[in-house]
Amino acid sequence: MASEIGAADKALAHEGNFGMTVQEYDYIIIGGGTAGCTLAARLTEASSSVLLLEAGPSRTGMLDSWKIDMPAAVDYAYLNPKYNWLYPGEPEPTLHGRQILQPRGKILGGSSSINGLVYLRGHALDFQRWEREGAWGWSWKEVLPYFKRAESWEGGESLYRGGSGPVGVRTGLQGCELYARFMQAGSQAGYPMSPDINSEQQEGFAVSQMNVRDGVRASMARAYIQPNKHRPNLTILDRSTVRELVLDGNCASGVRYHRDGTDVQATARREVILAAGAVASPQLLMLSGVGPASHLEEFGIRCRVNLPGVGQNLQNHPLIYQKFTIDKPVSLNSYMRPDKMAYVGARWMLTGGGLGSTNTFESLALVRSDGAVSHPDVLMHFIPVLMNADNKIIHDVHGFALAIGAARMSAAGWVKLRSANPFDKPRILSNFMATDNDISILRKSIEIAREVASQQAFRNLDAKEVEPGPAVKSAAEIDDYLRGTVAGDYHLSCTCAMGNGEMAVVDHELKVHGIESLRVVDASVMPSIVSANTNATTNMIAEKASDIILGRPALPPVSVTLPG
């Protein structure tokens, strides 16, 4: 990948004021994560020149590549500070003052390079809600074509699925019998079964899908950048920290960034596009004087545009890891011996197959906490080992974990500046369990997990709850457990929300209110969080945004029937 100015733009580099190197491009994309990689590939399909700036490295070290590429190696990539920002959360008043760790990808591909590879679209009714919240043109029928354009589903093209997109999507190997038992338990408990959770029936127990192609993680860097990195109109600069946006009056004209000990200014002839994610995008807007005026004044930052919604409305999925032991050696702990792990790794490196080619999240469920709810509001991933919220596996004990929690919450958190220094990590508050509604859904999640684990499918394994444990029964006991253990599911979103109200940051074309030639394209623009892992939806947002930015006609809506 390019590590310097691309060939097409070398002639446009010149010395600006105070000897600062100035570069010119048609588009500057800040952030090489899911959205940034998608945009860089799509915008350079035209003749436009594009600069993609990524603060992390463009690739791993030679000895680390397997940690990113091998789907089963999730826990090796996930907490590696080389490739993860590992933002510390603020003490949470509603969670006994605990801090919630906020991982974010720090490498080309962003969080798609270090996440759990779960490929799950938002629910159809999520996008109908987006329209009501001011995201015109983002209904289910209008976003579905972009989900399809992005993916290459192993089952091929259909009304709901794409068959030739950049992102490989497949199901797992189902190589552990506990996956089938989980599905049986869901059926025995009376829940529906979904033959394809990303198709018409987006509710029920289902085989999970993952972004994997040929046994290798299909990160957005691999899917969108690797095939296109040699385009002469694409320049990729890694290890480049953007200090601020350059604003001329009410127009964004470029960026100032720091790389290799040098400050550089780049100019955008057409647009600057923020794609730095739900944490860094609002941070950079505020550092540049776009955000809540009173908050900017705390750090002596001149307010260029008073947008009170910047950094507000942070939404995420709270998660509980309920754990159950079993008395038969049928969990994936059988593969945790060093010799067997070495065999799995060697087989994957030689053939791209075996357990190394899949993650450990091969079954899931989307269900309702209450029959009156319009669509599923509880998301559950089945893990056939005992695992903690930090992805640490508990060895020497056979069992399973149900990673379960609310798919939507009513309380929102925030992202705020820690200082005016762009190298200081911002402050992040999740605000979980701040409303009666949110507490109720999490209590119900525990009940659902217990109900599933008590079914006949698990009884002959003598499944026993070890966390929170059967002694935790009363509402007070459950609430205390929740406040002491609830974690985040790393699906940060909504901090530059799309809409037209007072707290909206971008309009339905993702243009920042009050600033010309500036858009935000990433998970931060979601008006509200989707009832799913967020990576697939972020990919879709960037696919759709690329057509908007280039002035191309939108893909024709897909004629599908809405649930209910």
Distance from C-alpha of 495 to C-alpha of 102, rounded to nearest angstrom: 14
Summarised one tens digit per residue, pLDDT across range 350-380 is 999 999 999 989 999 999 999 899 999 999 9
DSSP three-state, residue 169: strand
Q: State the Cα–Cα distance between residues 266 and 12, nearest whole angstrom.
A: 10
Burial class for 44, CB neighbours closer than 10 Å (0-12, 13-18, 19+): buried
Does pLDDT of 2 surpass 90? no
List the structure tokens of 479.
Answer: 């609430």
Q: Is residue 491 annotated as part of the catalytic site, yes or no?
A: yes
Q: Which CATH number fits domain 173-207+318-406+433-485: 3.20.20.30, 3.30.70.580, 3.40.50.300, 3.30.410.40?
A: 3.30.410.40
Structure tokens at 280: 């860094």
Please answer whether residues 400 and 452 qualify as being in contact, where contact means their C-beta atoms are separated by less than 8 angstroms: no
Tokens encoding 252: 């964004």
Give the tens place of pLDDT for each residue, 51-100: 999 999 998 887 889 999 999 998 888 888 999 999 999 999 999 999 99
Give the residue from 67, 91, 150 showing the smallest Cα distance to 356: 67
Q: Please write the tens of the pLDDT for every residue from 166-178.
A: 999 999 999 899 9
Domain 1-89+104-150+220-306+498-564 belongs to what topology? FAD/NAD(P)-binding domain (3.50.50)
How high is the pLDDT of residue 22?
66
Residue 435 has pLDDT above 70, yes or no: yes
Question: How high is the pLDDT of residue 62?
Answer: 76
Question: Side chain identity at 197, as an amino acid letter?
Answer: I
Alpha-helix residue ranges (DSSP H) falling in 430-503: 436-453, 456-459, 475-485
Smallest CA-to-CA distance from 79 within 47, 133, 115, 112 is with 115
pLDDT on residue 391: 62
Q: Average pLDDT, stretch 426-444? A: 97
Tokens 């009501």 belong to 132
In the predicted model, is pLDDT for residue 16 greater than 80?
no
What span, in angstroms and rounded, lies between the C-alpha atoms of 534 and 409?
Answer: 15
Which pTM value belongs to this model? 0.95
Specify the DSSP class assigned to residue 72. G
Residue 80 Ramachandran class (φ > 0 left, ψ -120 to 50 alpha, else beta)? beta
Q: Which of 14, 491, 508, 513 is catalytic?
A: 491
Rg over CA atoms, the chain: 23
Give the pLDDT of residue 399.
Answer: 95
Amino acid at site 90: E
If you average pLDDT over residues 525-549, what whole number do you get?
98
Q: What percent of the chain has pLDDT over 70?
A: 95
What is residue 340's predicted lDDT score, i.e. its pLDDT?
85
- The mean pLDDT value of the chain amounts to 93
For residue 286, the 8-state DSSP code is H
* Residue spans of alpha helices (H) in 133-276: 140-150, 177-188, 220
What residues does each domain of the chain span?
Answer: 1-89+104-150+220-306+498-564, 173-207+318-406+433-485
pLDDT at 201 (0 to 100):
96
